[in-house]
Structure 1
Amino acid sequence: MDIALVILAAGKGTRMNSDLPKVLHPIAHAPMLAHAMAAGAVLEPQRTVIIAGHGAEAVAAMVAETDETAQVVIQAEQLGTGHAVAQARAALDGFDGDVVVLFGDTPFLRPDTLDRMIAARGAHDLVILGFDTADPAARYGRLIVANGQLEKIIEYKDATPEERAISFCNSGLIACDAATLFELVAEIGNDNAQGEYYLTDIVELAQARGLSVTAVKCDEAETLGINSRADLAAADAVFQARARAELMENGVTLMAPDTVYLAFDTVIGRDTVIEPNVVFGPGVTVESGATIRAFCHLEGCHVSRGATIGPFARLRPGAELAEEVHIGNFVEIKNAQVAEGAKINHLTYIGDAEIGARSNIGAGTITCNYDGVMKHRTVIGADAFIGSDTMLVAPVTVGDGAMTATGSVITRDIEPGALAVARTRQDNKPGFARKFFDKLRAQKARREQENS
């Protein structure tokens, strides 16, 4: 059976108090809508339709970056969830399969939950996703089930005390064949205080048709909706806890798990050790057997097998580190390729550069890559030795096996095997320091006497 996703993402999110559309607020460096799209992607949908409204242009741009096959449909007026689903009708014209309706602010659905919803469709016309709430006073709609059939959804405000005592609650997510879904949605009315078309009304409409309706249960955390900054922080915490647990299950050592911050797309191989207080931004891959020491920040980089990073190191976008590379404390790497076995151990900036295999970069080295207008590249060959406090003024090339003297400012290429010395000759002036300080002290004494 073909499957289409309809993801509702039109809300403004007033409680977020933000100019940014609610579904674009990030969880682990990715918009919450991207999380929802990834959750639905496990069903391998033939079509994905995003219903956008507030900030539709920004939402459409994000969707295009995430899935270029997804279609964005504009809900010009936000008249409720039923009205939102109805906007997808034209986009799914001629589609003969099941539609799964998700929410852009519900990012944590598990693959097995969606699989169970689709499996339930084999025996029922309409499937609703529900959960057991731990809070009896939670103001969710209650699902009334009898003999395996979902009879109705009672909104909390309309429920009796007995109905409110029911813990099984409505998530709002549904699965239904496309033709039936849009027929039911077309029958939804707006005779309510808000004048909106509620998707939940299709349960009673389906019952009136004699259709089979059931509810599938999931963990409450999967249905976590995000409506405020506090909800956003809670959602991020949920993501981090899950991601850390999965890493450890897959053979990664986290020495202090609660202090490691992961991004949506972080990939870390087994037998890697992550020390405390490490932050992974987007686009990071760490291969097996690496060590990331404490207080490092990584973003947009690739760390190969057996490499050691930190402590207190920063890897920026474009950093490509080969096997057994050593990056030490207070070192920053940006848009640079560091070959196998190279060492950059102390207080160094390497930007827009290539470092050859087994080369050693001394403390305080800087690749001076920016002239105020353009960036330039530094190339250092294999087995080179760069002395401490060397300034490499790009564009410049250091040949294989070459070395620079400590404190040099390198402005010309160095041929392989050569030593470059680029500093003024030291000149010692006997007795000068003593005479100089005696002169300064005398001047100070005269000033103090004049001011007394």
Structure 2
Amino acid sequence: MERTCLAVILAAGDSTRMKSSKSKVLHPIANRPMIAHVVDAVAKSDISSVALVVGRDADEVASAAQVGSVKIEAFLQRERLGTGHAVLAAREAIARGYDDIIVTCGDVPLQTEGPLTAARQLLAEGSDVVVIGFHTDKPTGYGRLLVKDGELIAIREERDATDAERAVKWCNSGLMAINGRKALDLLSRIGNGNAKGEYYLTDLVEIARSIGGRVTAVDAPEVEMMGCNNRAELAVIERFWQERRRHEMMISGVTMIAPETVSLSYDTVIGQDALIEPNVVFGPGTTIDGGAVIHAFSHIEGAHVSAGATVGPFARLRPGADLAAGSKVGNFCEVKNGKIGEGAKVNHLTYIGDAKIGAAANIGAGTITCNYDGVNKYETLIGANTFIGSNSSLVAPVSIGDNAYVASGSVITADVPADALALGRARQELKPGRATVLRERALAIKAAKKAKP
């Protein structure tokens, strides 16, 4: 669309119903502040400039809204005198003379670019004001959109509506598009002659019509227009976001056995033919390549899993985990900042931190890389085709060469050359009859405790 456009995003509310120490629009949906979801929808509708109207936590909100290449300019609304007043907080930006002005809300994170683009198209076709509405079977409490001969003639609040008007199921979402060349004139005409003494953006419908302007409306899916006012609604929006994204992934070729149990982040990438078993959580920054298998009850964040690799069940991949093709991280294993080479296996009950494991290496059960001395982190290097026996402790910094063998139960504190066998454990000693002595002593202690009054 070869028209300039400014999006005015209203994000200055006090968020009192959230019962929170931070602004409502900072609360996350899919591990991303809801205000960022809104800016993302704006960006996808080919809008590159945003006037962000802020109030509480102004700096934090402005920072969270920084998405991609969208230019964000924040404007502080010092008083709360209605939606019309809030839009005029961005007067300086509006006055620059954009073709289109889109007014949207920072607490409507499910909105997509579709309705915004449709509203802009109607502006291009000659409308002066375009209201974005939605149809619902439960319209109680919403302003009704009253249409005649293809034009919107009024937004009727429920308290002012007749019985016939209350039966209308097309409702006002609060989102609106305005002819940018006329925006300041129309906004300046909004008065506050109402019970609350506030300036309502919805008055633009009748104002524009009264001076011969054309007012129309477009429809949006009800779920996209869902606002968030409290924690219960936050959870509902999260559920809808997850359902929508999981559906998109499955349509694109991802298998989810029980999709309703899988939790995604806003930036989760999963390739075609990947298999996701039940109860898997994806944190931010995760990429799963096609053909990988994520078994049940695994938690993955900031990690990359290559094609043909398998994870879990009950595995945790933390930031920096990078699994090469055909590798395996099995049950009750944790990997943090660790590169697992092609075909390498980390099968059970193991911690790999700040390490690089070569191709086809085998890491036995109970192995840990001791990467932290209480102050600093150190790296462990394990070569290709190396075998690390069960219950080994590798004390970093340490390097184990290709084709080396570490005996089970070893504590390795020095480098191991390629092809070498390393044993780092105390020699076994036998004390005949000592087990009986120890057991009798323990039983005597227990009996003495019971005998005490």
Q: Which range, TM-score by smaller chain? A: over 0.9
* C-alpha spacing 1:295/1:222, structure 2 compared with 1 (3 Å): same
1:243 partner SS: helix
Question: What's the counterpart of residue 33 of structure 1?
Answer: 35
**RMSD across aligned positions (CA):** 1.9
* C-alpha spacing 1:437/1:174, structure 2 compared with 1 (3 Å): closer
Question: What's the counterpart of residue 141 of structure 1?
Answer: 143
* C-alpha spacing 1:401/1:165, structure 2 compared with 1 (3 Å): same
Cα distance in 1 for partners of 2:368, 2:399 equals 14
User: How many pairs align?
Assistant: 450
Q: Is the 8 A contact 1:130 1:143 kept in 2?
A: yes
Structure 1 residue identity aligned to 2:34: M
Cα distance in 1 for partners of 2:52, 2:206 equals 26
Question: What's the counterpart of residue 84 of structure 2?
Answer: 82
Question: What's the counterpart of residue 125 of structure 1?
Answer: 128
Moved more, 89-98 or 22-31: 89-98
1:149 positional shift? 0.7
Structure 2 residue identity aligned to 1:405: A
Q: Is the 8 A contact 2:36 2:66 kept in 1?
A: no
Q: Is the 8 A contact 1:34 1:66 kept in 2?
A: no
Q: Is the 8 A contact 2:45 2:114 kept in 1?
A: no
1:441 positional shift? 5.5
- Residue correspondence of structure 1 range 239-318 to structure 2 within 5 A: 239-318=241-320
Cα distance in 2 for partners of 1:339, 1:56 equals 46
Q: Is the 8 A contact 1:12 1:21 kept in 2?
A: yes
Where do 5+ consecutive residues of structure 2 fail to align?
none
Structure 2 residue identity aligned to 1:127: V
Cα distance in 2 for partners of 1:361, 1:449 equals 46
1:83 positional shift? 1.1
Aligned residues: percent identity?
Answer: 51
- Residue correspondence of structure 1 range 390-409 to structure 2 within 5 A: 390-409=392-411
Q: Is the 8 A contact 2:95 2:184 kept in 1?
A: no
* C-alpha spacing 1:408/1:205, structure 2 compared with 1 (3 Å): same
1:442 positional shift? 6.7
1:38 partner SS: helix
Cα distance in 2 for partners of 1:197, 1:448 equals 78
Q: Is the 8 A contact 2:6 2:98 kept in 1?
A: no
1:414 matched to 2:420? The reply is no
Q: Deviations over 1:394-440 (max 9, x none)?
A: 11111111121111111111111111111111112233333444566
Q: Is the 8 A contact 1:98 1:177 kept in 2?
A: yes
Question: What's the counterpart of residue 10 of structure 1?
Answer: 12
Q: Deviations over 1:82-103 (max 9, x none)?
A: 1111121213442432111111
1:65 positional shift? 6.5
Structure 2 residue identity aligned to 1:223: M
Q: Is the 8 A contact 1:3 1:43 kept in 2?
A: no
Cα distance in 1 for partners of 2:53, 2:176 equals 15
* C-alpha spacing 1:448/1:327, structure 2 compared with 1 (3 Å): closer
Moved more, 317-326 or 112-121: 112-121
2:373 partner SS: coil
Q: Deviations over 1:346-372 (max 9, x none)?
A: 000111111111111110011111111
Structure 1 residue identity aligned to 2:131: I
Question: What's the counterpart of residue 21 of structure 1?
Answer: 23
- Residue correspondence of structure 1 range 323-338 to structure 2 within 5 A: 323-338=325-340
1:381 matched to 2:380? The reply is no
Moved more, 258-267 or 287-296: 258-267
1:336 positional shift? 1.3
Q: Is the 8 A contact 1:328 1:345 kept in 2?
A: yes
Cα distance in 2 for partners of 1:216, 1:449 equals 80
* C-alpha spacing 1:150/1:294, structure 2 compared with 1 (3 Å): same
Cα distance in 2 for partners of 1:103, 1:442 equals 73
Cα distance in 1 for partners of 2:91, 2:443 equals 89
Question: What's the counterpart of residue 231 of structure 1?
Answer: 233
